[in-house]
Amino acid sequence: MYDQSHQILIAGANSELASALIARTINNSKYKLLLVSQSQQNMCQDNVQAAIRRIDDVNLTDEVDQQRLSKEVSDFFDGPFSVINFAGNFWLHKSLIRTEFTEICDLISSHYLTLCGVAKAVTSAMIAKGGGRLVALSCNSVSYNYPDMAPFTCAKAAVECFVKCYSNEYSMYNISAAALALPTMRTSRVIKEKPEGDHENYISPEELSEILLEQILTQGQYITGNIIRLFKYSRTFYHQGYYQRNPRQEG
């Protein structure tokens, strides 16, 4: 039987961060992966050794899709399992009054409601199979209250609050939860949007994958409800102003 840290549901599986985690595990026979995406998935499956299942066209905020995912999870995992939610839209730094309200709603939905949706879909199965671990992604901006980030930061603050509440509600079932507060990540989109950024000192998707697999998923069940802040020293973070590091998308 696989253990909790080796049975993993990856939601938002088409994201760049998720793709790095999949690449690290997909050819390793000790992992059993359930990959969930709202769009058609495009990961390579050559020489796959790990037990793997992919589910396309899953909207985590839709109740019918939540029920479909719940059944897939119950059928696929044979014991405690972990869930990592990578779902969430990219945010460009701009003021509130120049942000369309539909974009604000999409941010809240893609970052916070998807977490609620996947948790609602899988928790009953977690209880039935003896427990598990829920991992969400937050952002260090929650601690700093930066300008030009209000909709995104508030959605991530909701993520952190949800993780704390969820961990208390389900700890009796051997279920734990954590949120990783990420700094600027070295994804292709970030490099494009911040061409003058301190790219070498951003955490890479591959580094994040190692942290998730070797440190976060392997934590004991008593370590729960925590917001884990990731930080890699960057000269620009300490020696440049906020607007120098994060150019606005408008005048």
Task: Answer with the residue of higher pLDDT: 111 or 250.
Answer: 111
Q: What is the pLDDT of residues 193-231, one digit of tens each?
A: 888 888 888 999 999 999 999 999 999 999 999 999 998
Residue count (the chain) = 251
What pLDDT is attached to residue 155?
97
Q: Give the per-residue pLDDT at 47.
A: 44
The answer to whether 33 touches 10, Cβ cutoff 8 Å, is yes
Nearest to 224, CA basis, from 172, 182, 175 = 175
The percentage of the chain sitting over the pLDDT mark of 90, rounded to a whole number, equals 75
pLDDT in tens, 12-60: 999 999 999 999 998 888 999 999 999 876 655 544 555 899 999 999 9
- Sorted by where each begins, the domain ranges of the chain are 7-245
Distance from first CA to last CA of the chain, Å, rounded?
A: 57
* 99-129 residues labelled b (16+ CB within 10 A) or e (exposed): beeeebeebbbbbbbbbbbbbebbbebbeeb
Residue 251's pLDDT band (cuts 50, 70, 90): very low
Position 137 confidence tier, pLDDT thresholds 50, 70, 90: very high
Least confident of 72-86, 129-143, 194-208: 194-208
**Averaged pLDDT for residues 1-14:** 89
In sequence order, the β-bridge partners of residue 182 are 139
Classified by CATH at the fold level, domain 7-245 comes out as Rossmann fold (3.40.50)
